[in-house]
């Protein structure tokens, strides 16, 4: 009886852990830094959620942050096109099919989330997440892997 209880508890905890692993919390600050440089997305997740927060003190028009996911090869072009799009379009070119997922631009104390299908990712692919606010992408970026 006790053995079955332990087994059931282990399965429940494993399920909870797998569910929790299908999301990540990431923070941007006024020093133009994300608190994470790498995000691993388990292949067992059909969807993945990124919860972005801004722990700084500055408004979004001064030090706004967003979270954008692209193939690494597309990073610079997407960032450059985003600058031209402007803040009212979250520094993302309208209809840009190179963008896999993104949040809106947020300022101090704000939060934003995005959920995307992991079927958009390839385990052999190279992916980069970044903030497209002008000048930020050089520092505010990291890698995302499907594992």
Predicted confidence (pLDDT) per residue in 49-62, tens digit: 999 999 999 999 99
pLDDT at 3: 52
> Is domain 22-146 in CATH 2.60.40.420, yes or no?
yes
- Given a cut of 90, whether residue 115 has pLDDT beyond it is yes
pLDDT band, residue 21 (cuts 50/70/90): confident
Three-state secondary structure readout of the chain: CHHHHHHHHHHHHHHHHHHHCCEEEEEECCCCCECCCEEEECCCCCEEEEEEEECCCCCHHHHCECCEEEEHHHHHHHHHHHHHHCHHHCCCCCCCCCEEEECCCECCCCEEEEEEEHHHCCCCCCEEEECCCCCCCCCCEEEEEEC
- Given a cut of 90, whether residue 11 has pLDDT beyond it is no
Instruction: Report the percent of the chain where pLDDT is more than 70.
Output: 86
- Given a cut of 80, whether residue 43 has pLDDT beyond it is yes
> What is this structure's pTM?
0.86
């Amino acid at each position: 009886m006790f053995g079955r209880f332990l087994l059931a508890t282990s399965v429940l905890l494993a399920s909870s852990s797998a569910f929790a692993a299908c999301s990540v919390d990431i923070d941007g600050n006024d020093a133009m830094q994300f608190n994470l440089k790498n995000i691993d997305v388990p292949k067992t997740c059909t969807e993945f959620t990124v919860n972005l927060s801004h722990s700084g003190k500055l408004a979004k028009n001064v030090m706004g942050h967003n979270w954008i996911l692209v193939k690494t090869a597309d990073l610079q072009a997407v960032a450059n096109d985003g600058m031209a799009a402007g803040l009212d379009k979250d520094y993302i070119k309208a209809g840009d099919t190179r963008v896999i997922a993104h949040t809106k631009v947020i300022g101090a104390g704000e939060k934003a989330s995005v959920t995307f299908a992991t079927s958009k990712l390839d385990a052999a692919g190279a992916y980069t997440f970044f903030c497209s606010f002008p000048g930020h992408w050089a520092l505010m970026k990291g890698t995302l892997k499907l594992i």
